[in-house]
Amino acid sequence: MGDEPRAPPLRLGSAAPNFKAETTLGLIDFHEWIGDKWAILFSHPEDYTPVCTTELAALAKYEPEFTKRGVKLIGLSANTVETHGGWINDIDEIAGIAMTFPIIGDKDRKIAFLYDMLDHQDTTNVDARGIAFTIRSVFVIDPKKTIRLILSYPASTGRNTAELLRVIDSLQASDKHRITTPVNWNPGEDVIVHPSVKNEEAETLFPKLRIVKPYLRYTPLSKEALAASRV
């Protein structure tokens, strides 16, 4: 696989490539598994790595919050499903709760290659300890199987679970309410009226419209309204 060209680049708005894979919960067809939900696909360099373990333990704790938002979680690690089992036992112990979402076994890194989750060298590249350089990628995929967010972290840096929830809240609210979210936005804070909404319509849609500049218009969005955005 190291001699193959890189997979076509995936961008925001790209269709999420489909695949079939063995997971800790059995064989899946990725698109069928997503169904009419949102999904977060995230990769890990290898089983039994410390940063990954903390990430999965956090996701196990936060999974009910993702479920409330109609989001399914699925991980990928460059090992076999069989080796995932012992690692999951460790994660359950650390999290204090059973992890219920699946982890893909991608020992040959075909899915990592498909989603361009590998480093800039090649698909056989490993470090001095033999750990595959599968980067920490995150793909947020909507029910139409469209990629809505891509994040890439270096192997040394753990991801922020709360940020993933914040992004999901923003995307779902934007889809439903014709708004965007400003810098450092958190649920319950004011949002920005989408530029495509003209002032006349905005005043009808958003009775508490606050115009700072012609191109910067705020409106409240309560946590209750945000919760109603969830699928």
pLDDT tens sequence for the chain (231 residues)? 445 566 678 999 999 999 999 998 899 999 999 999 999 999 876 666 788 888 888 998 899 999 999 999 999 987 777 667 677 888 888 888 888 999 998 888 889 889 988 765 544 555 555 545 566 789 999 999 999 999 988 777 888 999 999 999 999 999 999 999 999 999 999 999 999 999 999 999 999 999 999 999 999 999 888 888 776
Phi–psi pair at 209, nearest 5 degrees: -55, 135
Domain covering 14-159 assigned CATH 3.40.50.300 in the classification: no
Three-class SS of residue 49?
A: coil
> Per the CATH hierarchy, to which homologous superfamily does domain 178-228 belong?
Antioxidant, Horf6; Chain A, domain2 (3.30.1020.10)
Residue ranges of the domains in the chain?
14-159, 178-228
CA distances from 119 to 34, 107, 122 (A): 27, 16, 7
Q: How many C-beta atoms surround the C-beta of residue 160 within 10 A?
A: 14
Instruction: Say yes or no: do domains 14-159 and 178-228 share a fold.
Output: no
Alpha-carbon dihedral sign for residues 166, 49, 20, 100: negative
Of the listed 52, 111, 171, 197, which one is catalytic?
A: 52
Q: Is 134 a catalytic residue?
A: no
The pTM of the full predicted model, rounded to 2 decimals, is 0.87
Written as one letter, the residue type at 130 is G
Q: Report pLDDT for 74.
A: 96
